[in-house]
């Protein structure tokens, strides 16, 4: 390299780049975040070329030390802390991208030897590797945070005990459920999300290094060396696919977007339940804000923002899918556009999951109001029909008879349990004295005595099982946390 700050590809060019174009096509303003991954991948590559006889043992040692020195602790912190603001050194560098930056800085550190690092490799395989490493770290961090949210929900479910609330279908009161049962519904969603990330991680964990620009490295590198050093399960099997594949990024954003959808449903419910109309919970002041105009307001900003940000998570999926779908094999510069949606997903998810467990733990439910709501509005009508079924009435007829009784109660302004036996008999001769015990709140809950149902004993079992599954997940430590 004749001048130290030259491009990585200037040899065949006679004219300098258009200034605006040069600035516009650079990725360093955002891909500097891949610096820790780029250094790790470069060290792995250095080991491979040393094993292939390109570097002596001593040169390898110098190069590894030099690469470590390129990333200052400040940059490492900024990159890992999902900083959106680049440290000064990064901001002032003329580098085209993170790969160029490392080469320039390494030259400063160790001189001419640095220029041997790019032997037998291409930025196409480097960016593919850096992104895999970055997404892998992001998945590990997400898994750990999901455990925290799951724990907060399980703790709330335990604290809710036998408290009941209405369940809704069509947002109309349907049947009573235990508050714990409702909370555990979200635990089920999180567990599916969790497994989606784990699954994506398995498919991601192959190493593109050694794939070259498109056809494979031009040196007989032992690709298993790099794969091992970087904690991959092995090398990718096809160089054309490896240098242009971004499925792992797409899958990560897809899993994040489904998680976002679940968070958004939770957020929507809590927003509703915190209204005066529902009054099922008091918003924690530590996670709410006031209004600059209306002094009485306590607004559910956290749940509203979480609901809003889920749209953004889906946006990344759309960007990536659209980006990838028309690309001929193999690498195309379009792929550079695939980085920012991933970064945005990581930052967005990181932000939400940083506040959601604390918010969930701070929720205080108004069990009295929930219970009262569960006791009115004929939530025991299905239990009443089931009572008749036990008396031998076919369900369709039982449904009709209870429906008639409900209509009568609506006119009268009372609940089914308030009717006298004589009144009930107008709707069916099968009604007897034992009817009243079968339509209490407790009986209405407990008649759902099936696996996954809301009967108290079933929910107790479900809660214990959820706790066990969480303990098993916590046992599996995720590296990047």
- The residues of the shown chain that bind ligand ARG, judged by CB under 6 A, are 27, 31, 97, 123-124, 127, 331, 333, 335-336, 339
User: Of the two residues 28 and 435, which places its CB atom closer to ligand ARG in the complex?
Assistant: 28
User: Of the two residues 321 and 336, which places its CB atom closer to ligand ARG in the complex?
Assistant: 336
User: Of the two residues 339 and 458, which places its CB atom closer to ligand ARG in the complex?
Assistant: 339
Catalytic positions, written as ranges? 170, 291
Cβ of residue 468: shortest distance to ligand ARG, in angstroms?
Answer: 44
User: Of the two residues 335 and 439, which places its CB atom closer to ligand ARG in the complex?
Assistant: 335
Cβ of residue 32: shortest distance to ligand ARG, in angstroms?
Answer: 11
Cβ of residue 336: shortest distance to ligand ARG, in angstroms?
Answer: 4
Interaxial angle between packed helices 98-110 and 57-70, expressed in degrees from 0 to 180 and rounded to the nearest 10 = 120
Q: Is the dihedral of CA 218, 223, 227, 228 positive or negative?
A: negative
**Residue of 384, 400, 430 whose CA lies nearest to 176:** 384
Alpha-carbon distance of 415 to 444, in angstroms, equals 14
Contact predicate 117/154, CB 8 Å:
no
Taking residue 11's Cβ as centre, other Cβ atoms within 10 Å add up to: 9
Contact predicate 174/372, CB 8 Å:
no
First to last CA, the chain: 40
Contact predicate 149/475, CB 8 Å:
no
Question: Cα 306 vs. chain centroid, distance in angstroms?
Answer: 12
User: Of the two residues 100 and 401, which places its CB atom closer to ligand ARG in the complex?
Assistant: 100
Alpha-carbon distance of 428 to 416, in angstroms, equals 13
Cβ of residue 342: shortest distance to ligand ARG, in angstroms?
Answer: 11
Cβ of residue 257: shortest distance to ligand ARG, in angstroms?
Answer: 22
User: Of the two residues 26 and 158, which places its CB atom closer to ligand ARG in the complex?
Assistant: 26
Write down the H helix ranges in 275-338: 301-325
Q: How many CA atoms, within 13 angstroms, populate the side-chain half-sphere of residue 463?
A: 24
Alpha-carbon distance of 12 to 15, in angstroms, equals 9
Could you give the C-alpha distances from 295 to 226, 289, 292, in angstroms and in order?
61, 11, 7
Cβ of residue 27: shortest distance to ligand ARG, in angstroms?
Answer: 4
């Amino acid at each position: 390299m004749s001048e130290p700050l030259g491009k990585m590809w200037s040899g065949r060019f006679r004219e300098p780049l258009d200034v605006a174009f040069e600035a516009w096509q650079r990725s360093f303003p955002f891909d500097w975040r891949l610096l820790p991954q780029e250094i790790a991948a470069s060290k792995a590559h250095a080991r491979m070329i040393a094993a292939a006889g390109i570097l002596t043992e001593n040169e390898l040692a110098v190069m590894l030390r030099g690469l470590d020195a390129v990333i200052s602790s400040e940059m490492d912190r900024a990159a890992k802390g999902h900083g959106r603001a680049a440290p000064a050194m990064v901001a002032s560098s003329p580098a085209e991208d993170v790969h160029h930056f490392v080469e320039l800085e390494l030259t400063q550190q160790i001189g001419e030897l640095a220029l041997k690092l790019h032997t037998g490799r291409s930025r196409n395989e480097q960016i593919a590797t850096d992104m895999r490493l970055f997404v892998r770290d992001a998945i590990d961090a997400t898994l750990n945070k999901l455990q925290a949210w799951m724990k907060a929900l399980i703790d709330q479910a335990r604290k809710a005990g036998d408290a009941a609330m209405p369940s809704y279908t069509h947002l109309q009161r349907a049947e009573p459920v235990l508050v714990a049962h409702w909370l555990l519904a979200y635990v089920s969603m999180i567990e599916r999300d969790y497994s989606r990330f784990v699954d994506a991680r398995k498919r991601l964990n192959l190493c593109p290094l050694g794939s070259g620009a498109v056809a494979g490295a031009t040196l007989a590198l032992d690709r298993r060396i790099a794969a091992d050093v970087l904690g991959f399960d092995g090398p990718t099997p096809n160089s054309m696919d490896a240098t242009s594949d971004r499925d792992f990024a797409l899958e990560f954003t897809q899993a994040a977007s489904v998680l976002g959808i679940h968070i958004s449903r939770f957020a929507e419910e809590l927003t509703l339940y915190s209204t005066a109309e529902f009054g099922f919970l008091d918003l924690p002041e530590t996670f709410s804000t006031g209004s600059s105009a209306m002094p009485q307001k306590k607004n559910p900003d956290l749940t509203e923002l979480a609901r809003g940000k889920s749209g953004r998570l889906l946006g990344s999926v759309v960007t990536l899918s659209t980006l990838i779908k028309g690309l001929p094999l193999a690498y195309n510069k379009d792929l550079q556009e695939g980085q920012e949606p991933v970064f945005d997903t990581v930052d967005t998810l990181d932000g939400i999951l940083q506040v959601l467990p604390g918010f969930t733990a701070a929720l205080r439910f108004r069990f009295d109001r929930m219970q009262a709501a569960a006791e009115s509005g004929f939530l025991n009508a299905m239990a009443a029909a089931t009572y008749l079924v036990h008396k031998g009435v076919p369900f369709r007829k039982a449904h009709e008879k209870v429906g008639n009784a409900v209509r009568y109660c609506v006119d009268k302004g009372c609940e089914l349990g308030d009717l006298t036996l004589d009144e009930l008999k107008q709707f069916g001769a099968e009604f007897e004295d034992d009817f009243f015990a079968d339509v209490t709140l407790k009986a209405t809950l407990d008649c759902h005595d099936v696996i996954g149902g809301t009967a108290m004993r079933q929910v107790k079992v479900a809660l214990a099982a959820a706790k066990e599954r969480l303990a098993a997940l916590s046992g599996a430590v995720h590296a990047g946390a």
